[in-house]
Amino acid sequence: MTFLRQTFIVFRRQLRMNLRNPAWVIIGMVQPVLYLALFGPLLEPLVAQFGATNAYTFFVPGLLVQLGIFGAMFAGFSLIAEWREGVVEAERVTPASRTALLMGRMARDVLQLLVQALILIGLGYAFGMRGSLTGMLLGLALTLLIGSACAASSNAIALTTKSEDVMAPLLNMVMMPILLLSGILLPMTIGPAWLQLVSDVIPVKHIVDAVRSSFAGNLAVSAILWGTVWSLVLFGLAVWWGTRVFRKENA
């Protein structure tokens, strides 16, 4: 079997599991939609201070990155259940590539993220968002890339901890600083200098800036370059880590 066929077999099985519960998209969309409906209007009188002219063109890109990170980072919980039921061990005794076992699951998570992102962009337009079509496609691509990285990392964490009780607080501990310091909700430029300095070392902050710039149509800026570079670096590291964990004898 080729690598692509192995990946597709794993992806098809994972997708069938999700489609048995049609609420899988709705549940993942609840939090971003609530942010869009309840937090977005609060930004409208403040958006000029951020150097933007449209509150939703500024806000939706941040929500996209939040959706990509927070939604994908919880993908590993289903893998823990599969490990407990012996599914992972059964897959490991097959000749399937360990990378295919990871990529098949990632493909399912990316498809879910794509559907949710398109819904969010559509709702953003309904609320008044306007942006560059080319820029939005680039922003969507960066979102899917960071979402893939988070899905791979989540699977690696799941097989390392093998416990929801350990994984949940670990993710919360990691993701809370990311949410507060990456500028997803509010730009870090309105914060004190020391806080901006701290946020500059968080890669997600540069990705948020890149997606935000792309939606605004500002494609020839350094933020796009740095956001793309960080997305690719995080994706490469996450896939390497996830594949390594799947290859472990005691995984």
pLDDT one-digit tens code per residue, 205-240: 999 999 999 998 888 778 899 999 999 999 999 999
Percent of the chain that is helix, strand, coil (3-state, to 5): 80, 0, 20
The alpha carbon of 239 is separated from its chain's Cα centroid by a whole number of angstroms, namely: 14
pLDDT at 24: 61
- Based on C-alpha coordinates, what's the Rg of the chain? 19
Q: Do residues 39 and 185 touch, judged by C-beta distance below 8 A?
A: yes
Q: Please state, in angstroms and rounded to a whole number, the distance separating the CA atoms of residues 137 and 65.
A: 14
Residue 204 pLDDT class (50, 70, 90 cuts): very high
| Model pLDDT, residue 178 | 87
Rounded-to-integer distance, Cα 83 and Cα 191, Å: 44
- Look at residue 46 and give its three-state secondary structure: coil
Taking only the tens place, the pLDDT of each residue in 39-63 is: 777 777 766 666 667 778 888 888 8
Q: How many other β-carbons are positioned within 10 Å of the β-carbon of residue 154?
A: 26
* pTM (two decimals): 0.87
Residue of 248, 251, 244, 221 whose CA lies nearest to 99? 244
Higher pLDDT, 25 or 42: 42
Maximum average pLDDT range among 30-34, 121-125, 183-187, 230-234: 230-234
Taking the C-alpha atoms of residue 81 and residue 111, their distance in angstroms, rounded to an integer, is 21
| pLDDT score for 249 | 46
Residue partners of 11: CB distance under 8 A and separation at least 6: 103, 104, 105, 107, 108
> Both ends of the chain: CA-CA distance in Å?
23
What is the structure's pLDDT at 25? 59
Confidence of residue 154 (pLDDT cuts 50, 70, 90): very high
Which of the two residues, 130 and 139, has the higher pLDDT score? Answer: 139
Copy the structure tokens of residue 39: 């937090």
**What would the pLDDT profile of 90-100 be if each residue is shown by its tens digit?**
877 777 788 88
Please provide the average confidence, as pLDDT, over all residues in the chain. 84
Give 174-198 pLDDT, tens digit per residue: 888 888 888 887 777 777 888 888 8
**How do residues 76-112 score in pLDDT, each as one tens digit?**
888 888 888 888 888 777 777 888 888 989 999 999 8
If pLDDT is split at 50, 70 and 90, which confidence band does 251 have?
A: very low
**pLDDT value of position 78:** 85
Distance of CA 32 to the CA centre of its chain: 12
Running DSSP on this structure, what letter comes out for residue 238?
Answer: H
d(CA 198, CA 165): 30
Dihedral angle computed from the Cα positions of residues 204, 206, 210 and 216, in that order, rounded to the nearest 10 degrees: 100
Nearest alpha carbon to residue 10 among 115, 96, 117, 127: 96
